[in-house]
Each structure stands twice: as C-alpha cells, then as structure tokens.
Amino acid sequence: MPSSKNIESVNSLTDKIQNAKSIVFMDYRGVTASDENKLRKIVNSEQNVEYFVAKNRLFKLALQNSELSNEELEKVLKGPTSFIFSYDDVSLAPRLSKKFAEAGEDIFQIKGGIFEKKFVDASTVIAVSDLPSKEVLIARLLGQLMAPVQGLHNVLRANLTGLALVLKGVSEKK
C-alpha cells in the first residue's frame, strides 16, 4: 500500500507535469552537493522555473496520471534523474540544462525532455537550447517589421530636409 507521502509526491509531480511547457531530464550521477546547490541557485533565480529531484518510480506514476507515459520515456528514466521544469518559456529549461551540462564537465548529462506534452531526445533538447528566448525573437520580428517603415521615414525626411535647405538658401540670397 502506497504511503501518503508518496501519494502526495505523485499528485504534486502530476500537477507540475501538466503545468510545465518544458521539462528536461538530466543524469546527475557523480554530482557533488555544491554543484547541485549551484544549479538550484541559478534555476531558482529564474522566474517560473523549478529544479526537482524525484524517484523515477514516482515520476513514472505522475507521467501515467498525466497520460504522457510511453516506452521512450521509460528508457530515459533509469539511474539518478533530476528535472528542470519551465512553466512559461519552452526554451528556458533546455538553455539552463545545457549551460550546466557544459559547465559541469559532463557531470550533468541531458537525457531528454518533454516539450508541449511530447517526448524529445537529448539532441532535440540541445537544439532547442540554442534557440533565442521568446522575447528576443519578438524583438527581432518587430525590428524586421519596423525596417521598411523606418526606411520610408528616412526617405521622406531627406526630401523635406533638402527642400528646407533649398528654401533657406533662397532666403539667404534675398
């Protein structure tokens, strides 16, 4: 019979999984307590991101409750696994995990992830981590949309400036 603590943990994990836009699974075999504390500190400094360590068995039950369980996930959830949940930005959890996987000299290894309720492998997590954030993409798009308007503004202003200079020159001659 499952303990009330485990039932509570599974329910909490189920809520986290259902609310997360992305989840990254990391192998943390050989990680020291100080390395894990550094990761927790960096992850907790971000908004709507959470670092979590749970037993694989409980996480599998939470995935089943969320109707996300499949064979690929079962293969990934072997050995010590930690999770980074991102609740707003899909690319934030992969960026943080990649940053730590690179800085940790292969201590933290990316196993895979879930993006928008679909399982992806480690190579996809790394590819997503290279994408800029949503805010940067929006800024780039707005810059591209504003470029023609700014060009038109400059052309029209140049004609008006030229006209003003001609009129000034005529007024100075008289």
Share of the chain above pLDDT 70, in %: 96
pLDDT for residue 165 is more than 70: yes
Domain 4-131 sits in which CATH superfamily?
Ribosomal protein L10, N-terminal RNA-binding domain (3.30.70.1730)
CA distances, 20 to each of 32, 68, 71, 115 (Å): 27, 12, 21, 8
Helix (H, G, I), strand (E, B) or coil at 114: strand
The tokens for 172 are: 């100075």
CA gap 67, 114 in Å, rounded: 13
Reported as a single tens digit per residue, the pLDDT across 74-94 is 788 888 888 999 888 888 888
6-14: average pLDDT: 88
Query: Torsion-angle region of residue 128: left (phi > 0), alpha (psi -120 to 50) or beta?
Result: alpha
26-52: average pLDDT: 81
pLDDT at residue 75, rounded to an integer: 81
Listed by start position, the domains of the chain span: 4-131, 132-174
Reported as a single tens digit per residue, the pLDDT across 109-147 is 888 898 888 888 888 888 888 888 778 888 888 888 888
Task: Output the CA angle 16-17-18, nearest 5 degrees.
Answer: 95
CA gap 77, 64 in Å, rounded: 13
